[in-house]
A and B are shown apart, each in its own frame.
Chain A
Amino acid sequence: MARYGPKEHDVLIVGGGAAGLRASIAITENHPELSVAVISKVYPMRSHTVSAEGGAAAVIKDDDSLDDHAYDTISGADWLCDQDAVEAFVKEAPEELLQLEHWGCPWNREEDGNIAVRSFGGMKIKRTWFAADKTGFHLLHTLFQTSMKYDPIQRYDEFFVTRLVVEDGRCQGVIAIELATGKLEFIAARSVILCTGGCGKIFPFTTNANIKSGDGMALAYRAGVPLKDMEFVQYHPTGLPFTGILITEAARAEGGFLLNKEGYRYLQDYDLGEPKPYPVLRSMELGPRDRLSQAFEKEKEKGRTIEGPYGDYVHLDLKHLGERKIDEKIPFVRELCRKYENLDPAKEMIPVRPVVHYVMGGVHTDINGATPIEGLYSAGEAACVSINGANRLGSNSLTECLVFGARAGKAAAEYAAGKKKFSDGLEKIVSDEGKRIERMFFSEHGDQSESIAGIRKEMHQAMEDGAGIYRTEDSLKSSEKTIKELQERLHRISIQDHSYTFNTELTSAFELSYMLDVAEAIIRSALQRTESRGSHQRKDYPERDDEQFLSHSLAYQTGDGTPRVEYQPVTITRWPPGERKYGQ
């Protein structure tokens, strides 16, 4: 008999994107006797995996090798990733993508029926599997549809998690609001895997969907798990102004040019190689994302970008690719440009600017997705294993979700199979949590002048001003002060919506509180890393400093609003730190 009734599981996965769904299938295939459930604040096929465009990297062709994939990943990461994790990742990547193929993923093919691969930024060999430029969409739907055939996988769709239940040093479930009814529930689980994605919504201009508010990161952080390498935030060089909609790197891999206001391929001025009329791997437009986004900022300083109503931009020129190639390889780019910019990339240039895209940091885990808290695991963008270091290689993230989703699933299942007994009296945490929520967001003495949208806007401003592509001690300190004030102000808020039914004002308040906690970790980690590496660029410390900082930052939440940052050395196996060379 289940002690905690029907809502008791062996493994509970929070988040139904690629990592979460992959974990759920890995668990049920390896341990059919275990009860497994996926809880998500949206229906799984709405998860942000759906927006990923370009592709997923894995070695499959004869001219490629695991070492090449490892080297591209490690040099792309500016040597901040753990090389044992990278070696495991590149080794398991091909099998994972093949598994997706066997589940029906519509990968693009060569004429003879074999899997096709394309080039991507920062790679010396073509190794990106793709499903046109809707790879994330196809991958997510394939996983979700496949998961439906496994009856043991239970789902809690549209349940919003408000806290982890950690008792006696073990994670034993979550508390969540069922959105349709407003009911607060304790869902017991012998192990929990956080697959909640990233936190791009902390920033004003992002490719990320509205749901990406760092929920799992904040939940783990509040439970005492450190957040690792949070100072590393990736700007993708090509987002549409105003909407922040991503124009995939595949557009450049197929031969697109980046032009400044004089029509000049400005990347040649930034140590990224010579301009050629065709795409060259690890060169120019196919350089790594951090370097391209930084080059944009430099161009802006020189006054060579174009002023627009939604900030400065440059041009991405695809005209020379022709209609046929665009429709065959990057049809979604054309669809998005037509729908949202009212232009046709086969005939006109696309305005683009750098846009927050991905966080390399996340919940501190080991190579199996285990966090320092017993029974708590994490995978996907929410986690930091780390294979992404200071700058993620394009097209590694979907593969990461699969490889480490499966790994975390297996590890969490093995732990749960030990059938440890639940602690006594966990159910009473629900009533405590109910009171906490009342106190936090429905105070009768709430300050009516404060609003969720107002505080969110100020957070956005503070993050863009203080923790953007280039940072300084002053900018970060000023943002840190603002975030602290906003955290206090959020506690004085009083929500207008008192309905129990689908209260999205309440969930928005929660999301904002999660984002502010994650923001404090980003800023503090950035302040203490007095060097420049990958996506973390300090104007006051422009050099990489391996002596002091070839190490991961671990930010622990403290009671006073300033996290404590500790460091853990990077694991080096076969690739000693070197210079990042592109364009050669």
Chain B
Amino acid sequence: MEQTITLQVQRYIPEQYPEPYFQSYEVPLRKKWVILDALNYIKDEIDGTLTYRWSCRMGVCGSCGMMVNDRPALTCATFLEEYAPGPVRITPLDYFGIIRDLVVNTDDFMGKLKRAQPWLITDEAKPLSEGAYKQTPQEKAEYEQYSMCINCMLCYSACPVVGLEPDFVGPAAIALAQRYNYDSRDEGEDQRNEELTGEGGIYSCTLVGECSEVCPKAVDPAGAIQRYKATGAVEWWQSVLMPWKGKS
């Protein structure tokens, strides 16, 4: 007999049931299976109505984040065996509205990404005819880590501030702002500061650090926020003590 494991999956189908509920499914406990394989097994073999997002199954598209036993995880990069003998509890990412079953509403997150102004800002556009910007490997290394974010949103589910303060721009968006701020080609730091040092910006962060703990790509948003606060504070003092700075 093949070994099995029980998945307790949170369901929510708004037109049919007013509240979320749990449904248990027994699935084979196979070597090499990730949690996502077990969900696909349920959808294919047991219950076609179970609903979740997924795509690449190699930890780079960022679609399949869920809470696994109350911890945010990429289900395509989390082995089922680690949870033996079970049961394993699968719920949608915390602090997001639920659309259905394990699918959460990401509209708000998309808006926050845009608040970071994640594009290269320059005082003057460099024409293509002038060729590429120079950027040494050391200069690239300055921002590289922050460019690795796959927008999986696990850090938002891990962050208690996101839960308490819905306007908080959040770890991934701040790391993304830093990705451009530290890019030697970029001149948009002041513009981003205006947005990110204001309401719901970096000062909402209370240094819990869970965002970096759960990040599947080692982006270290907590470190990005710390670095931001350091510059943000300097700039605030500069604006008070040296109001002429930046106005020349």
Contacts and interface: CB of A to CB of B under 8 A. Distances in A.
* B interface: dominant SS: loop
Contacts of B48: 451-452, 495-497, 505
Interface in A470-514: 495-497, 499-505
Interface string B85-103: 0000000000000011101
19 contacts: A43-B106, A102-B120, A104-B183, A106-B183, A112-B134, A137-B150, A141-B147, A145-B118, A146-B120, A148-B113, A210-B56, A210-B57, A246-B58, A453-B43, A495-B48, A499-B16, A501-B13, A501-B14, A501-B15
Interface string A128-159: 00000010011001000110110000000100
Interface of A: 42-43, 45-48, 50-51, 95, 98-99, 101-104, 106-115, 134, 137-138, 141, 145-146, 148-149, 157, 180, 209-211, 242-243, 245-246, 335-336, 339-340, 451-453, 495-497, 499-505
B56 to A, nearest CB: 4
B132 A101 contact: yes
A335 B105 CA distance: 30
A110 B106 CA distance: 39
A103 B136 contact: no
Given A497-B49, A505-B49, A113 B100 contact: no
A339 B183 contact: no
Given A106-B147, A149-B117, A495-B48, A50 B56 contact: yes
Contact of B32 (A101, A113, A242, A496): A242
A504 B100 CA distance: 11
Interface stretch (B59-67, B197-205, B223-231, B238-246): B59-67
B120 A138 contact: no
B135 to A, nearest CB: 5
Interface string B116-128: 0111100000101
Given A48-B55, A106-B140, A146 B44 contact: no
Interface string B141-159: 0011001101100000000
Contacts of A340: 32, 58
A51 B118 contact: no
Chain B: number of interface residues, binned into ranges: 35 or more
Nearest to B47: A496
Given A101-B133, A501-B13, A502-B99, A149 B119 contact: yes
B119 A499 contact: no
Contact of A109 (B43, B136, B186): B136
Contacts of A46: 53, 55-56, 61-63
B180 A109 contact: no
B71 interface: no
B83 interface: no
Contact of B103 (A104, A209, A502): A502
Contacts of B150: 45, 50, 137
Nearest to A157: B110
A148 B136 contact: no
Scoring B14, B45, B118, B139 by chain A CB atoms within 10 A of each residue's CB, the highest score goes to B118
Contacts of B128: 95, 98-99, 102
Most interface-central of B55, B117, B176, B183 (chain A CB within 10 A): B55
Contacts of A336: 58-59
B56 A109 contact: no
Contact of B61 (A51, A149, A242, A495): A51
B51 interface: yes
A372 B84 CA distance: 56
A48 B56 contact: yes
B77 interface: yes
Given A42-B63, A496-B48, A499-B49, A113 B139 contact: yes
CB-based closest 3 A-B pairs? A113-B134, A453-B44, A145-B118
B137 interface: yes
Contacts of B51: 497, 502-504
A266 B187 CA distance: 52
Contact of B59 (A47, A109, A339): A339
Contacts of A112: 134, 136
Contacts of B180: 104
Given A106-B140, A109-B135, A145-B118, A243 B58 contact: yes
A145 B119 contact: yes
B56 A43 contact: no
A138 B101 CA distance: 31
A209 B99 contact: no
Given A98-B128, A146-B119, A502-B100, A209 B57 contact: yes
A496 B13 CA distance: 14
Nearest to B180: A104
A521 B105 CA distance: 38
B129 to A, nearest CB: 9
Contacts of B117: 149
A179 B163 CA distance: 26
B54 interface: yes
Interface in B19-78: 32, 43-45, 47-49, 51-63, 77
Identify the interface centre among A102, A138, A335, A453: most chain B CB within 10 Å of its CB. Answer: A102
Contacts of B32: 242-243, 340
A439 B219 CA distance: 48
A148 B112 CA distance: 12
Contact of B114 (A98, A148, A209, A505): A148
Contact of B137 (A45, A111, A134, A242): A111
A211 B64 CA distance: 13
Contacts of A246: 58
Contacts of A134: 60, 148
A272 B6 CA distance: 51
Contacts of A157: 110
A157 B108 CA distance: 13
B229 to A, nearest CB: 23
A209 B58 CA distance: 9
Given A104-B186, A145-B118, 17 more contacts: A43-B110, A46-B56, A46-B61, A50-B56, A51-B56, A98-B131, A111-B137, A113-B136, A210-B54, A210-B57, A245-B58, A335-B59, A453-B45, A497-B48, A501-B15, A502-B101, A505-B48
Given A106-B140, A109-B140, A114 B132 contact: yes
Nearest to A452: B48
Contacts of A505: 43, 48-49
A99 B16 CA distance: 50
Contact of A106 (B56, B118, B144): B144
A46 B53 CA distance: 10
Nearest to B147: A106
Which of B44, B61, B118, B135 lies at the interface centre, i.e. has the most chain A CB atoms within 10 A of its CB?
B61
A148 B118 contact: yes
A583 B60 CA distance: 35
A409 B47 CA distance: 42
A95 B129 CA distance: 9
